Structures are given as C-alpha cells and as structure tokens.
C-alpha cells in the first residue's frame, strides 16, 4: 500500500494493534492553529469516519459558534482512533497521532476527563476552564474543558463559561 486517503497513508486506515477498520482518524486542517481533543469516537463518528459529528459534536459546534468560533476551522482528534478496548497499545497509537498533530499549534482544548487526566494528570472538575500545562503537549494556550455531553444531564452554564474563556484567550493570542 502506498496511496493516501484523506491525507492518511492506506496502511494507517487499520489499527496496527487490533486490526480494527472502523477508525476515526484525526482531521488535520492544514492552516489551523487550534486542536480540539476528545476522548473516543461515538457511533456517529465511526459511521462518518470523522471526530465530533455526533450529539456531543453538535453541542460543541453550537456552543463554539455562540462565542464566535467555527469548529470547521480546527483540527480535531480523539485519544482513541476507534471504540475503546483493553489493548493499551491502541490508546498509545491514538495519542502518538495527537502529539504529531499538536506540534506547532497555538491553542489546544482538552475535552473530557480521560483527555485531561492523560495529558495533564488532573481531574477535569478541578481544572475546567483553566489554562493547564502538559508534559506531552506544547502550545501557548492549553485549556481543560468538561465533556460537552454533560449538557444532556446538567445545566449548560459550565460548558458555556469554559468555551467563552477559550474564545477570549484564543483571540488574545492570535491578534
């Protein structure tokens, strides 16, 4: 195999560790300075092969638009490139992809408890809406954010506040 599909080598379209073919690879927007990182793909993401196209993505898209940001301008990724399983090598493969894509980004939004826990070693409830430091990622702005799906179970205010802070900081550093 030596062709490319959507910017990915053909041999990258199958998980090298578990051979799962239902992958949701990161979408890397060439000139994007922002990366949003989620936890794992849901059924809709797997169906469409793209991150953040399901219910959670819809909430995120709407709330980002509310603060003047367009999700289509950002690179998107998940810790897991397929449904989570017990094979740690699968998770590490997804993380390696994220670290590659994160290089040179101006801003990174870590979304959800697993993502924040892995990259920052903190509980998202303790750092939601705050700038954080990561031993694995380097960008002028790295911010933690609760999982947007929480709006299906609790009020929207906390997510809105976090995304408003992210938008404000992003605009400050990209002037």
Q: Is the pLDDT of residue 155 over 90?
A: no
pTM of the model: 0.93
Mean pLDDT of 135-153: 95
CATH number of domain containing 22: 3.40.470.10
Q: How confident is the model at residue 12 (pLDDT cuts 50, 70, 90)?
A: confident
Number of domains observed in the structure of the chain:
1
pLDDT digits (tens, 9 = 90+) for 75-126: 999 999 999 999 999 999 999 999 999 999 999 999 999 999 999 999 999 9
Which CA distances in Å does 75 have to 17, 25, 32, 38, 137?
A: 24, 11, 6, 11, 15
Q: Tell me the residue range of the domain where 73 lies.
A: 4-173
């Amino acid at each position: 195999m030596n062709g490319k599909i959507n910017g990915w080598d053909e041999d990258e379209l199958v998980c090298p560790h578990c051979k799962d073919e239902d992958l949701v690879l990161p979408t890397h927007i060439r000139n994007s300075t922002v990366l949003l990182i989620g936890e794992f793909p849901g059924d809709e993401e797997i169906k469409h092969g793209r991150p953040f196209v399901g219910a959670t993505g819809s909430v995120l898209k709407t709330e980002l638009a509310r603060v003047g940001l367009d999700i289509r301008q950002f690179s998107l990724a998940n810790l897991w490139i397929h449904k989570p399983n017990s094979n740690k090598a699968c998770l590490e493969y997804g993380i390696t992809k994220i670290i590659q894509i994160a290089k040179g980004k101006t801003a990174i939004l870590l979304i959800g408890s697993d993502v924040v826990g892995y990259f920052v070693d903190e509980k998202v409830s303790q750092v939601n809406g705050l700038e954080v430091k990561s031993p694995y990622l380097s960008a002028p702005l790295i911010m933690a954010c609760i999982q947007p799906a929480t709006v299906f179970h609790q009020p929207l205010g906390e997510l809105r506040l976090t995304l408003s802070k992210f938008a404000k900081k992003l605009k400050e550093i990209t002037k």
